Structure 1
Amino acid sequence: MPTITTALASPEIWDDIQHTLSGGGDGRSCQCVWPVLTNKEWQTTDLDQRTALFRHEVLSDRPPGIVAYVDDEPAGWVRIGPRPAQRRLGRTRNIVATTQEPLDDDSVWAVSCFVVRKEYRGQGLNAALLDAAIAYARDSGARVIEGYPIDTAQTNVRVNDLFHGALSTFLAAGFREIRGPKPERPVVSLDVT
C-alpha cells in the first residue's frame, strides 16, 4: 500500500507544487489562479504572469493549498482558502444562486480545485487532500467550507473538468449537498465550528 502524506504549500516545496501541476490536465497552464482571477483578468494574462501570481500566493502568510505525496513523490494538489479571495467564485451564477452563505464572509472557505497527476489517479488522493483541506481550514478559523463539485451520476464529464472534485468525495467527507439551478453542479457545505 502506498503511503499518502500532505503538506501546506510553502516556498520550500515550490518545485513539488509545480511537478504536481504538470502531471496532466490544465494545471500547468492554469497555475491554480483561475479561481482568483476574473474572466477579463484570466484572458489578459499569460503563463509567466499566472506563475508569478501563484508564486506570490505561495510566498504569502496564508498558503493557498496543500500538496499530497505518494511515497514522498508529489502527486496531488488542492486549493483551499477564504472564498472572498477567490473572486471568480462570487461571480459564478450557479454559486451565487445556490450558496446559503454571504458572499463577502471571510469565515467561509472554499475548495475550488484539485489536481492529481495521471499516474496517481484512482488512489484516493482527492479524499486525502480534502481531509487535509478541512483540517487546515478549521485550524485557520474557518466557520464553513464550501465546494463546487460535479455530480458524476448526473452527467458525463471529461477528466479535465473534474478539477472541481466529484460530489461523492465531498459527501463521503461529511459535506451536505445544496441543489441549485444546475443539478449536476451542486454546492456542498461543511460546518467546521
Structure 2
Amino acid sequence: MADGVVTESVSASTWRDLQTVFGTKGDPAGCWCQWFKLSRADWDAATREETRARLHDQVQAGSPGVIARIDGEPVGWAAVEPFSAYPALGRSPITRRKEGDPEDPWAVTCFVVRLEYRKRGVARALLAGALEHARERGATVIEGYPVDPEVRPSLSAAERYHGTVSLFRDGGFEVVRRPSATRAIMRRELQS
C-alpha cells in the first residue's frame, strides 16, 4: 500500500477507530455515511447521534466498508456495499440504474480521510481495500460515482468525498457514462 497505508474491513472491534476517523467536526461527523441510506426526509430529521448510531448498528451487523491505518493510527474510511444497500442511489438522477447496467453491483460511495493524513495515498489505499473487501464477499462488478476536478478545479475537499475520476481510473475503473459535466459513473469487473 502507498506510504505504509494498510486497510482492513471494519468490524465491531474497529468501531473506536472508525469514530476517530469520522471525528467530531466537519461533514464526516454529521454524515457517518448515511446520506445514501436514508430518505431525504429521514436525513433532514436525523441528528448526528442518530446517524452515528445507525453506522454503529451497521458495523455490528456486518462490514459496510474499510478502514485505513498508518503505523496503527486510523486515518481513513471508504464505504462499500451492494448498490441495493444504498436506497438513495436508486433515486438519484446521477446514479439510478439505466438499461444495460448491472442490477446490483457493489458501490464505493464515499471516502473520509482525516485532514492531517491527506495527500499521502490514503484514498488510493482505501479504494484498493474496497476492491478486495467486495471481491472477498462475492462481488463481480463494482462501481464508483466520482467527481471530476479536471472539469471543475474549484471542487472543495468536502465535494470530493465521492472520490475523483483520476482516483478510480488509476484503480482500474472505466467511465461508463457522464450524467453531468463534473460526475462520472465508473465501473470495474472483478476477477475471483
TM-score (norm 2): 0.92
Residue 52 in structure 1 maps to residue 37 in structure 2:
no
| CA displacement, residues 150-174 of structure 1 (integer Å, 9 cap, x when unaligned) | 1110012011111000110100011
* Paired amino acid for 1:182: S
The percentage of counterpart residues that share the same residue type is: 34
CA distance in 2, matches of 1:99, 1:135: 27
Show the counterpart of 1:132.
Answer: 129
Q: How do 1:35-46 residues align onto structure 2 when only pairs under 5 Å count?
A: 35-46=36-47
Show the counterpart of 2:89.
Answer: 89
- CA RMSD, Structure 1 to Structure 2 (Å): 1.7
Task: Please list every run of 5 or more consecutive structure 2 residues that lacks an aligned counterpart in the other structure.
Answer: none
Contact 1:20–1:77 (Cα < 8 Å) also in 2: yes
* Paired amino acid for 1:31: W
CA distance in 1, matches of 2:9, 2:37: 18
Residue 122 in structure 1 maps to residue 123 in structure 2:
no
* Paired amino acid for 2:158: N
CA distance in 1, matches of 2:21, 2:44: 24
CA distance in 1, matches of 2:130, 2:141: 12
* Paired amino acid for 2:14: I
3-state SS in 1 of match to 2:150: coil
Contact 1:69–1:76 (Cα < 8 Å) also in 2: yes
3-state SS in 2 of match to 1:169: helix
CA distance in 1, matches of 2:49, 2:88: 20
* Paired amino acid for 1:55: H
Describe the shift of the 1:10–1:140 C-alpha distance in structure 2 as closer, same or farther (beyond 3 A).
same
CA distance in 1, matches of 2:13, 2:171: 29
Contact 2:90–2:97 (Cα < 8 Å) also in 1: no
CA distance in 1, matches of 2:137, 2:113: 25
CA distance in 2, matches of 1:120, 1:24: 16
Residue 34 in structure 1 maps to residue 35 in structure 2:
yes
Q: What is the CA-CA distance between 1:25 and the residue it aligns to?
A: 3.8
Show the counterpart of 2:11.
Answer: 10
TM-score (norm 1): 0.92
Q: What is the CA-CA distance between 1:137 and the residue it aligns to?
A: 0.6
Describe the shift of the 1:178–1:25 C-alpha distance in structure 2 as closer, same or farther (beyond 3 A).
farther
Show the counterpart of 2:23.
Answer: 22
| CA displacement, residues 94-125 of structure 1 (integer Å, 9 cap, x when unaligned) | 112768425xx34x100000000000000011
| CA displacement, residues 41-73 of structure 1 (integer Å, 9 cap, x when unaligned) | 10111112111111110001x301111001110
Contact 2:177–2:184 (Cα < 8 Å) also in 1: yes
CA distance in 1, matches of 2:18, 2:165: 25
CA distance in 1, matches of 2:36, 2:175: 21
Describe the shift of the 1:145–1:23 C-alpha distance in structure 2 as closer, same or farther (beyond 3 A).
farther
Contact 1:6–1:68 (Cα < 8 Å) also in 2: yes
Q: What is the CA-CA distance between 1:180 and the residue it aligns to?
A: 2.6
3-state SS in 2 of match to 1:151: coil
* Paired amino acid for 2:186: V
Tell me how many residue pairs correspond in the alignment: 189
CA distance in 2, matches of 1:24, 1:8: 24
Contact 1:37–1:87 (Cα < 8 Å) also in 2: yes
